[in-house]
Amino acid sequence: MTKNNAFQLTIKETLQKYDVPAIDEGLNNSQVKQRLEQFGPNKIEAKITPKWRVLLRQFNNMIIYILLFAALLTLLMGHLSDAMIIAIVVIINALIGYFQELNASDALERIKEMLSSEATVYREGIRIDISAEELVVGDVVFLEAGDNVPADLRIVAADNLRIQESALTGEPDSVEKITAELIEAATPLAEQLNLAFASTSVTSGSGEGIVIATGKNTQIGQISTEVNNTENRKTPLMREIDDLGKGITYVIMAVAIVLFVLSLFLKTYSLSVLSLAVVTMIVGSIPEGLPATTSVVLAMGVSDMAKNKNTIVKTLPAVETLGSVDVVATDKTGTLTKNEMTIKDIVFADKRYSVTGDGYQPIGQILLDKQPIENDARLKLFLEAGYEANDTVLIQNEGIWQINGEPTDGSFLTLYHKYMDYKITPDYEEIDMLPFDSSYRYMAKLVKNSQNQRLLFIKGSPDKLFEMAKVGNAEFPYDYWSEQVTQLSAQGKRVVAVGFKRLTNQVTEVSHELLTDGIELLGIAGIIDPPREEVITALKEMNAAGVSVKMITGDHPLTAKAIGEMLGLAPKINVITGAELDQMSDEQFKQAAIYYQVFARATPQNKMDIVRALQESGKVTAMTGDGVNDAPALKCADIGVAMGLKGTDVAKDSADMILTDDNFGTMAIAIREGRRIYDNIKKSILFLLPTSFAEGLIIAFTILMQKEMPLKPTQLLWINMVSAITIQFAFIFEPAEAGIMQRQPRKTGCGLLSKHDIWQMAYVSVLIAVISIFSNEWLLSQGISQAVSATIMINIVVFSKIFYLFNIRTTQPAFSKAFSSNPKAFIIIGIMIVLQLLLTYVPLLQTAFHTSDISALGWLISIAAGVLILIITEIDKLIRINYKK
């Protein structure tokens, strides 16, 4: 049989493969030098994008191209102020994008920080400390408690060696390492018990291992490579806005070219006047406020989420992406569950207790038939045995309950303090202790009580303790206890047995013989990493919103399925393992990613492949996680969400968003907020485009009518700029529409605007332009000056915007309950009216913008135009509402 994996090799085969003379001999200096040249240093390199390139990227946008072209043309024609205003808008947009992109920290730097800086190795028969970067394949590394594993190792010697790998594999408990070879070639990462992986930490014992991979070839190095090579995808909104910007630009440029050629042919205007008119039309039509408006709406959403919703959003578009999510792929440990092992069941020969409260916080009760237990001598002895046969410590640090040691042991400490006050500990004095070891799978402690009686407490694997109990009791009900273990295991729970033995005062140390001579079994405990309470509620809300949730974990399939059922992940839970996924074709993999809800024994590569398969199936995918193993998938997803409290720095730096309270329930709130922000951005675009197009149409219609230009470029820029800094931002404060979380996610690939949206934009643009031109013609025919007529025309466009705002704000009729739902909109409208009064009556602004005082008739015409726009658009809305009903 060909052995391709290091974990399949015997110790002898490992030594031969890596040309190591002996474990305590290690490599010689010439071997080290040759391998260092061949494989390079044991470090991870990061690919850094220069800041100037990040800045240039911000200008890669069709709208920005056209604005730069317009700025250049106006500059060449001597209109310096117009060119400066356009250039300022472009620069502001670029700087917003630049600083947002720089704000995303480098996950690779965090991965590098996790790597050990030093290693203890055998070289030429001497044990020495070296820099971890100098490690080479074949080096023999010595490990002890407290060390970070410096490279991927094949364990060749182990003395109660346990390694915490949860950040890499998702397993909450530290793993007991072995030296024997494994047979199965498809053994998942979490079950490769004779390997140790770079960046994991030794929690107890000691051992030795031969380096099988360094630097980028280690498991953590492969993760860093995936993170490095994963390109950031544009969010759905950014893709839609890009497509919209291109479409608008093509139409405006086509119209501009046609008008320019036609006017040249008709010879109505001189070349300089015509060129300025066309540039004015382009600048008026191009929605230069679009990038700025989008950025500000997103930024305000980000700020609101940080203040009120325990969420840090690192890139602006990410906050909206949540609103379009179809699937949330999530890690289990620490995300859906607490990553705090908790005892939920205690089974005795004649009783079965249930335990309330989750996590390490000692709050909860022990119940028998749903009633709290207060005085139960045998239960107290069980709790004391679990507490004493233990070498873990439970502490409270800044209000958070934590353990120092093994999670399973920690669950017994919490259980004891649910029955007894935290300040009270069992009244025993330790005499001797037998620590846990994988070779015998139990731990025991010899103690004496206040009456000087000696007791031996034992806690460990049920099969081991059951055999001991059989020796001490010929009538021990082995089948009953085996059935109880099977039931708890089927629920995804880890089962630990607890027993004791009374001894004479002559016994001073623990021996295996004392235990194998017989013990009395007290009972068994069912332990699970419990689901977070808030997750169940959030999942119901997300399912109602059409968002499906996939659980991806390194746990055993039974455990994963049990958690999925407890959470209510789906009406029926379908489970598949990472090994099964690896055997599938690309098409089968895509179908599996959609069909299955739970993915067990998943590797980091599986996680990323699942996210990619969902994306290729047209699903907008969010990924949540907290471990190093989640980093590639977090970066690959449309939006990566990391946990803030228990998440690793690598996960947080790879993510787009961080939940500061580790509350998965915040995801439902964030999805709701994302949908609100998307709606408001769409409303702002539906508001911005018709009014911008109307300005362009005024110039276009005037050119076609071969009339004198009614508005100056500066007047059009005033309309655009005053809107950009006032009325457009009314949408920032618009509350969510009713039923926002009862609708399905928007379809991937659909345009930002529907057919009706385009129709409404078209007729509103034409209406504003036609009303403005006819008003101008009528006023001039009445002997009104050009300056007064132009001023009234500006106010017609502005008041049309104001009244149109009330139509766009809500999908309900304008004068429904929604009318007063956004008080800040009225303040913003008031500011805009004040600015119009200043433009109309302040001499300085009159000179700068070629305006003049107007009479009450001028204001009446302006307001009447706005009311007409509102009436027509509201009739259209009512027709649509009735049609939907």
What is the set of active-site residues? Answer: 331
Q: For 583, which DSSP code? A: T
Find all residues with CB under 8 Å of 629, minimum gap 6, and list them: 167, 168, 169, 170, 223, 554, 603, 604, 607
Ranges of H-type helices in 165-218: 166-169
Within 10 angstroms of residue 378's Cβ, the number of other Cβ atoms is 13
Q: How many Å apart are CA 245 and CA 242, to the nearest integer?
A: 5
Torsion 168-171-176-178 (CA) sign: negative
Find all residues with CB under 8 Å of 438, minimum gap 6, and list them: 160, 176, 178
End-to-end CA distance of the chain: 69
239 phi and psi angles, rounded to 5 deg: -65, -40
Q: Which residue in 672, 637, 490 sits closest to 552, CA to CA?
A: 637
Within 10 angstroms of residue 472's Cβ, the number of other Cβ atoms is 15
Q: Which residue in 231, 222, 210, 80 sits closest to 157, CA to CA?
A: 210
What are the tokens at 675?
């949908």
What are the tokens at 763?
């007729």
Does residue 743 sit in helix, strand or coil? coil
Q: How many Å apart are CA 328 and CA 745, to the nearest integer?
A: 12
Does residue 476 sit in helix, strand or coil? coil
55 beta partners: none
Does residue 501 sit in helix, strand or coil? strand
Give the number of residues written for the chain: 885
Q: Amino acid identity of 238?
A: M
CA dihedral 71, 77, 78, 80 (to 10 degrees): -10
Within 10 angstroms of residue 516's Cβ, the number of other Cβ atoms is 13
316 phi and psi angles, rounded to 5 deg: -55, -50
Cα dist from 243 to 238, 296, 297, 686, whole Å: 8, 20, 19, 15
Torsion 788-791-796-797 (CA) sign: positive
Ranges of H-type helices in 596-630: 604-616
Q: How many Å apart are CA 489 and CA 860, to the nearest integer?
A: 79
Torsion 297-733-535-615 (CA) sign: negative
Find all residues with CB under 8 Å of 454, minimum gap 6, and list them: 431, 446, 447, 448, 502, 503, 504, 505, 507
CB 373 within 8 A of CB 366: yes
Cα dist from 21 to 8, 16, 196, whole Å: 20, 8, 21
Q: Which residue in 639, 613, 633 sits closest to 322, CA to CA?
A: 639
Q: Which residue in 623, 723, 653 sits closest to 288, CA to CA?
A: 723
Helix (H) or strand (E) holding 534: helix 533-544
Q: Which residue in 816, 663, 644, 667 sits closest to 741, CA to CA?
A: 667
Q: Amino acid identity of 499?
A: G
